[in-house]
Chains A and B, each alone.
Chain A
Amino acid sequence: MKISDTDKNEETSVEIKYAKNFNLTQKANQYILEILDPISGKTESLHTIGPSKKHEAISLSATVVGMYAILDQQKKLKGVSSIDYVFDRKVKSMFKSGSIKEFGDETTNSIEKIISSKANTILYSGFGDEFPNQKKLEALNLTILPIYDWKEIHPLGKAEWIKVIGALTGKMDEAIKFFNTVEKEYNDLMKLTASINEYPTCLSGNLIGDIWYTPANESYVAHLMKDAGAKYRYADTKGQVTLEFSIEQILKDNETTEFWINPGYDSKSKIDKFNPHIKHLACYNNIYCYSPNMIEFWEKSAAEPHHVLSDLIHILHPEIKEIKSFYYYAKIN
């Protein structure tokens, strides 16, 4: 629990257990949101948010759209990045009726369209840079919030960002309640793998051009694999960086790897086309990915990591976790 430096009498911190990239402090019926730089951990920006303000948001992040949907606050959305990447039915029908519009991503959106939408908040996946035209938009009283959920390493840290959405929409209690359920489910699942002896080796990522990109050990993917009872092949690496390997290195390192998670394609024919040399590895027969439910995964998996964990435990240890069907994942044939 973190305490704000300023006036301690009036302010109470919202408990943040896993997320590293933000702090929330309640002040009267408003909240002070402190966005932290994911690399240095220092304060990147401070925002006063909360229900006293009429809240109308444009969310360019799919995860955030999912969190609005979980809290049933779609009506407070004015816009999304692209309706093609929206899963939620209610948002889709609001797009059809015209109350939600498309704004493109950070690089393609139009400042005039944003201003004319009358939205007062923009949420986007932060990359450490300012939002385009940030100064002009702020001068017009728009709140611009970089969302660093994707930088959280702990899956529950990602999920905890729902508290920010709760603060924005005035649904903090619901957000906390939802998060606590998720946390319990997740931790219960982890207990299943606490007693296992065999940790199957797992590979992740794929070739883009000639380079195989996969996250280093301090990453969401590696964390999930560990919690699911797997040994991530590159668990000996450090940092939050993306690793780059040549195909030769991958082939040499993964002679005995058993599972390949998240190859980026939903069929073996596509994998063969862009990665024709990997078919001899054992893990080629154990490929699992969320691609068939990609849009749903992008939108919802961050807030509901227990479903991802449940899928992964079943993939790796079917004997300890039986499921009727996968939530997101599918085996690739």
Chain B
Amino acid sequence: MIDIKNLTVGYQSPLILFADMQLKRGTVYALIGRNGIGKSTFLKTITGQLEAISGIVNLDNRLLSDITFNEIPRYISYVESRFPLVEFLSVYDYIALGRSPYTNLLGKLKEEDKSLIQQTIADLKIEHLKNRFTSELSDGERQLISIAKAVVQQTDFIVLDEPTAFLDYANKEEVISQLKMIATKMNKCIIVATHDIDLVLDKKIHFILIDEIAKTGKLYPTATKNKIISTCFKSIQL
């Protein structure tokens, strides 16, 4: 569980104040807010890349600030919106990097690591991509293998920064449905920063909406499209 209390995020000066909230396993949370409002800042703060200006973040009852940088990968995995452009990096090798927080100094995969990777590949139905190079994949396929990498990292929390940003509609749907599957079947807490309101209007998905005027973030168990627009995109309505 991610327990957030009175959290203010920002670089030098406060950007957004987040109300107290508890983010639980088995759930997908959609983080919605206007561009540049501070979604990524929030994600960076709860993944320990950025220090909070004030307030508290607890990961499974441990203070985030007490968790060392090399422990963090065992708590939270993170999927960037941009996929690294590298040649000759095979899909299997890429997904296997998710195991690196657990492997030895030389990064050698044990048998159980390999079977976990294999299982995840099967669960996400990306068997056919396994032996290809990441540079040959479509954006949708890249997003799926990034999620697979996060899954093999075996963290309770998975954070994704706009995973659907560069995808076409079908791929967007595929990514969101996979995330829902992972949250429920694998019992993970998933936080997705996104703009695709329609895709996440689902009764199983919870919302963290960032109020454009008040500069506050708040958890809503359910939300309608109107609610989201009136909270996050007031300037568009006006």
A and B touch in the complex (CB under 8 A): no
Give the interface of A toward B (CB within 8 A).
Answer: none
Q: Which residues of B contact A (CB under 8 A)?
A: none
